[in-house]
């Protein structure tokens, strides 16, 4: 017995010694900020983006034989953010990820995984000039620095299936979806006529990011506010509760199901509407005759006053990069007016560039499907760039599923409790 105890203690002591010996190791040298050389970049797994990325990399490599760029898709994982975070911790993150979620930036920044853009003389000015100061400022971190380059935006709007609308006796060219009452009535008509099991089928599950496609677009359309403003949660308000009540009606009347759909409900015809951005156009174009309208508001605001969730993705330069100057130059070359135009052409996603409809007027003239999204791209609300953002979103989502999806508690109480917890987390900063 005593021998066994000694053995366990010896192993524990040895392990503790190992723990003590293991440090975080060394990062890249100081000179990395001004160093040039070969770099690695990660692209998203979207086929259209991969095609664009490979084109940009090939073009760069042909002009920079001593600073070759190697591109690969983000390795498989539950989410890209988890894979990127793991690579930051392991010290083998690529130099650039062309698909960094703004909601993950606070966590990556806290982990010391990102390079601030003011490391480069023209870092901040480049972002502000390309995106416009007002929108770009949403992407500044609480310390006032940029750790991401706002890249492309997928403003969330309401897709609808024209064929199903026509079958339900609704005008497919001018569907009544501008106000909440119209949206509810249209939803009732669609379900009662049996053209689809659901009017709309946002995922009702508990993952923290699901609120970006039900609550957040409607909240943005109503208030133009982020989930957190001035260090306080905004959803514990009459506006937030009103959005909750609207969706409660959708769930209570079974116009939106409480069960998650396994697949794409809109593509499969299981739902007559979907909230998505222009990335979805290539997905639906061959199977569905679709139309798109702005997010409905309670009183039917004019379309040019309606805001929505951006569903934006950024570029970021990662701390493990040993040739950061090359990385920065590559980022700039991937976001020139011409490169952004290619991105738009190949993927249909909107570059975060000022005056988008005017800059690419010829593209939108030949692609009218995308015009509304281009117009909407100038009125978007981003996720808040604050510490503990994932936990704040999860706290809100738990309140949402409890009160709105399953009606287990009053919405105002659930939102107030969640806001109190979110405010505690914000105060921890």
Residues numbered 131-190 forming contacts with another protein, rule: CB under 8 A: none
Q: Is 174 exposed, middle or buried (0-12, 13-18, 19+ CB in 10 A)?
A: exposed
Of 42, 60, 85, 330, the one binding another protein (CB under 8 A) is 85
Residue 347 CA to residue 332 CA, distance in Å, equals 19
Which of 39, 95, 41 has the alpha carbon at shortest distance from 64? 39
We find the least distance from the C-beta atom of residue 395 to another protein, in angstroms, to be: 10
Is the alpha carbon torsion for 359, 348, 228, 424 positive or negative? negative
Dig out the tokens for 231 from the structure. 């260090």
User: Would you state the structure tokens that stand for residue 403, as one six-digit string?
Assistant: 């009160």
Contact call for residue 229 and another protein (CB under 8 A) = no
* 248 contributes a contact to another protein by CB under 8 A: no
Q: How far is CA 119 from the centre of its chain?
A: 25
Binding segment for another protein among 105-113, 141-149, 218-226, 307-315 (CB under 8 A)?
A: 105-113
Which residue in the set 24, 66, 173, 358 belongs to the binding site for another protein (CB under 8 A)?
24
Residue closer to another protein by CB (options 308, 388) is: 388
- Residue 84 touches another protein, criterion: CB under 8 A: no
- Whichever of 45 and 86 has its CB closer to another protein, that residue is 86
Rg (CA), the chain: 24
327 is an interface residue for another protein by CB under 8 A = no
Say whether residue 33 binds another protein (CB under 8 A).
no
Q: Does 420 bind another protein (CB under 8 A)?
A: no
Tokens of 209: 């990011």
Quick check: 83 binds another protein (CB under 8 A)? no
Assigned token pair, 190: 């669609």
Query: 377 and 155 in contact (C-beta within 8 Å)?
Result: yes
Buried b (16+ CB within 10 A) or exposed e, 397-406: bbbbbbbbbe
- Residue 410 lies near another protein (rule: CB under 8 A): no
- Could you list the residues that contact another protein (CB under 8 A)? 3, 11-12, 14-16, 18-19, 24-28, 82, 85, 88-89, 91, 93, 107, 110-113, 197, 203-208, 257-260, 262, 319-320, 388, 390-391, 394, 398, 401-402, 405-406, 408
């Amino acid at each position: 017995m005593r021998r066994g105890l000694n053995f366990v203690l010896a192993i524990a002591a040895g392990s503790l010694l190992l723990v003590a010996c293991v440090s975080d190791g060394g990062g890249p040298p100081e000179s990395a900020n001004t160093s040039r050389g070969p770099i690695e970049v990660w692209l998203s797994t979207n086929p259209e983006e991969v095609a664009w990325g490979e084109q940009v990399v090939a073009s760069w490599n042909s002009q920079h034989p001593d600073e070759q760029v190697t591109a690969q898709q983000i390795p498989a994982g539950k989410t890209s953010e988890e894979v990127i975070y793991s690579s930051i911790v392991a010290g083998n993150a690529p130099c650039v990820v062309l698909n960094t979620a703004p909601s993950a930036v606070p966590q990556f920044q806290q982990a010391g995984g990102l390079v601030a853009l003011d490391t480069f003389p023209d870092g901040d000015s480049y972002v502000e000039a390309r995106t416009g100061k007002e929108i770009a400022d949403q992407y500044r971190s609480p310390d006032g620095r940029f750790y991401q380059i706002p890249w492309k935006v997928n403003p969330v709007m309401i897709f609808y299936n024209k064929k199903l609308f026509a079958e339900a006796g609704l005008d497919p060219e001018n569907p009544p979806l501008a106000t909440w009452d119209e949206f509810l009535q249209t939803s009732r008509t669609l379900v009662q006529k049996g053209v689809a099991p659901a009017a709309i089928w946002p995922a009702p599950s508990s993952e923290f990011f699901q609120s970006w496609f039900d609550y957040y677009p409607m909240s943005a359309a109503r208030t133009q506010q982020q989930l957190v403003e001035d260090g306080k949660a905004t959803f514990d308000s009459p506006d937030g509760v009103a959005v909750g009540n609207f969706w409660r009606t959708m769930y209570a009347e079974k116009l939106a199901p409480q069960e998650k759909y396994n697949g794409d409900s809109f593509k499969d015809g299981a739902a007559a509407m979907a909230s998505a951005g222009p990335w979805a156009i290539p997905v639906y174009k061959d199977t569905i005759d679709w139309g798109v309208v702005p997010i409905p508001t309670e009183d039917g605001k004019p379309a040019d006053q309606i805001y929505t969730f951006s569903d934006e993705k950024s570029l970021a330069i990662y701390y493990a990069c040993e040739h950061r100057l090359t990385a920065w130059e590559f980022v700039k070359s991937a976001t020139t007016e011409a490169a952004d135009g290619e991105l738009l052409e190949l993927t249909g996603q909107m570059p975060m560039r000022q005056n988008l409809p005017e800059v690419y007027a010829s593209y939108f003239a030949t692609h009218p499907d995308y015009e509304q999204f281009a117009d909407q791209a100038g009125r978007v609300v981003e996720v808040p760039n604050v510490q503990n953002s994932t936990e704040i979103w999860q706290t809100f989502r738990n309140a949402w599923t409890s009160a709105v999806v399953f009606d287990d508690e009053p919405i105002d109480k659930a939102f107030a409790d969640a806001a109190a917890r979110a405010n505690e987390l914000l105060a921890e900063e």
